[in-house]
A and B are shown apart, each in its own frame.
Chain A
Amino acid sequence: MSEDHGAFGVKGTGDTSGFGGLVRTSHSADSTPRPYGGYFDEIADELERAYPQFSEDIERVVVDRGELTLHVKADRLSHVAQVLRDNPALRFEMCMGVNGAHYPNDKDRELHCVYPLLSLTFNRRIRLEVSVPDSHPHVPSLVEIWAGNNWHERETFDMFGVVFDGHPGLTRILMPDDWIGHPQRKDYPLGGIPVEYKGATVPPPSERRSYQ
């Protein structure tokens, strides 16, 4: 874990007690062995039937805390998503957006994108996850499949710098258009931005005064 700077003077883990000896483990889990339990086996069976390249393109199937995550190869994402939406036995009609996560120590898989899917027909939920390297952060856009992903993908681009290939207008959405950097990345500091108001500049909280 890289050191966090600029968080109002907080350095390192933020453990002010000194007792914690905080060890941060990287987030990765192995594939869950079958049976997955509940309706997850049914979904996996149907997807295997409807999507013959299942074993190659779906890297891991993880069941954790009653939630199913399919780790999909980034370049195959839209094919898997299309089957999940259109297959009559799967019918994931809704995608509840996309969320990014930055794991700087997960080499060549630094950026993750997570898609929660919802089936209205069967009242089921699953999650798709893809990971791409920071050096080539390209993920296929799912706007063609779920139009509602438009703003969510723009937000993930804005916050993490993930480029969604095929998005109709991938621009920043929350930060100003000329902003430099992607704020939700772990190497981006909290604070540290001077505030300009009516011509005068107020320094960032981390630099205003020091109590040290």
Chain B
Amino acid sequence: MTTQDPYASSRETTEGRVYSVTGNDWDSLVTEIGATKEERVVVNMGPQHPSTHGVLRLILELEGETVTEARAGIGYLHTGIEKNAEYRTWTQGVTFVTRMDYLAPIFNETAYCLGVEKLLGVTDQIPERASVIRVLMMEFTRISSHMVALGTGALELGALTPMLFAFREREKVLDIMEMVSGLRMNMAYVRPGGVSQDIPAGGITKIRETVKELRHNFKDNAKILIGNTIWMKRTVGVGYLDLPGCITLGITGPILRATGLPWDLRKSEPYCGYENYDFDVITNDGCDTYGRFMIKMQELEQSLRIIEQCCDKLDKLEGAPVVIEDKKIGSPADLKVGADGMGNSQEHIAHIMGQSMEALIHHFKISTEGFRVPAGQVYSTVESPRGETGVHLISDCGTHPYRVHFREPSFNNLQSLSAMCEGSMIADVVAAVASIDPVMGGVDR
């Protein structure tokens, strides 16, 4: 191997010899490394690697194929969302936070909005129909997020078919998202005070049909993986993390429930009226990758159960408002789909342009400056597909947040990588990372 080759080069550094690997050069690399006396190899996996679940950099110290130390390098997707949110109004903040964990946008929005509503002291004024729609959208988001976790998780372990099946189902869920909110991802649909628009006419019927299809297809999907010899060998006992480990590392979500603890914020601290729904908290005693995948698979059915109950509730609440009555808070959230896309409703425009000068002034002030939120701080939580999404909001009585901080479950859970991987084979690192299911948009924010 020559040192001039920019694609498969090696060079001496103070830490030892460094090899750059780009693929298709394994033979020359193995020959060269084999010639050295060094047993210990440090491998840099990522940040651009197909099986690290996004721009995640893993620094693995290896002895042979055994991982002796595993560290994660993050920050490649840092976008300064928390800083940006301080320069926009409370309502505009939704558009930022939805882009954090991009596989679970509705959870970020809901956690943020519940926090803003708590600061405003209007939690009990949120219309019931809005809460039911939030629950419906959150559970659909949970399905679409779990579909990516299961599909790409299997893909990273070499199984292509489950990925295709999972993304086929996800597509149906995204169609529902599009029908309800107008967008498939990053919807900014949940707003302080309610949701941006009501479910369109005939929407509930379409949702019921989709639930039926999904339930049928989930059974088929499960058959591909559960009991499959290769799948079982790659996941059972891999990425072990028990309850004390989870607790000291602050791990929540499927990883915690895979240790047998039925901890789910939907049950322990119900929000958006989750106490009125009938569903089970899924647990598993495996503490391993297989257990976490099983939990995700079984949670799909629980989400479908909740969605069906939402549909029944929505039928009863037909025509009820979806935004808070207080126009100062509600009006930036109250949108309608017109001929030229989503915007303020025609009645609202007619009112401010033709009937009331005061309404026009208020509209202008609320659109440009925003509404004020009383000073104080709150911490609001929701159970996202990956665990506890906590939002710490500080207001200084301004129209912008003073500080927005997201306690992202992906960020926190990724710390468990070292505990799960050290001492295992390098191939199991991929399985463990897939079971943590980190979304780098949420990790780096």
Query: Which A positions have Cβ atoms within 8 angstroms of B?
Result: 4, 7-8, 10, 13-17, 19-20, 22-27, 29, 64-67, 69, 93-97, 99-102, 114, 116, 120, 123, 125, 127, 146-152, 155, 172-176, 183-184, 190
Q: Which residue of B lies closest to A8 (CB)?
A: B87
Q: Is the CB of A175 within 8 A of B75?
A: yes
With a CB–CB cut-off of 8 A, which chain A residues contact B78? Answer: 174-175
Alpha-carbon distance between A152 and B392 when the two chains are bound, in angstroms: 13
Q: B87, B268, B365, B392: which contacts A116 (Cβ < 8 A)?
A: B392
Q: Is the CB of A174 within 8 A of B75?
A: yes
Q: Is the CB of B390 within 8 A of A116?
A: yes
- The interface stretch among B126-134, B166-174, B405-413 is B405-413
Interface string of B404-422 (1 = CB under 8 A from A): 0101000110110000000
Given contact pairs A15-B369, A149-B250, A101 touches B403 in the complex (Cβ within 8 A)? yes
Q: List 12 A-B contacts (CB under 8 A).
A: A14-B87, A15-B369, A17-B369, A22-B399, A25-B396, A67-B378, A96-B412, A99-B407, A147-B249, A148-B412, A151-B412, A151-B414
Alpha-carbon distance between A97 and B388 when the two chains are bound, in angstroms: 11
Q: A8, A16, A96: which contacts B368 (Cβ < 8 A)?
A: A16
What number of B residues sit within 8 Å (CB to CB) of A? 51
Q: Is the CB of B411 within 8 A of A151?
A: yes
Q: Is the CB of B396 within 8 A of A148?
A: no
With a CB–CB cut-off of 8 A, which chain B residues contact A64? Answer: 376-377
Given contact pairs A152-B412, A174-B75, A120 touches B263 in the complex (Cβ within 8 A)? yes
- List of 10 A-B pairs having minimum Cβ-Cβ separation, nearest first: A148-B250, A148-B249, A99-B405, A174-B75, A174-B78, A147-B248, A7-B87, A99-B392, A16-B368, A116-B379
CB distance from B76 to the nearest CB of A (A): 9
Alpha-carbon distance between A152 and B408 when the two chains are bound, in angstroms: 10
Q: A20-B365, A65-B119, A97-B412 are in contact. List 6 more A-B contacts (CB 8 A).
A: A10-B87, A66-B118, A97-B390, A116-B390, A151-B412, A184-B403
Within 8 A of A (CB), among B77-125: 78, 80, 82-84, 86-87, 118-119, 121
CB distance from A168 to the nearest CB of B (A): 12
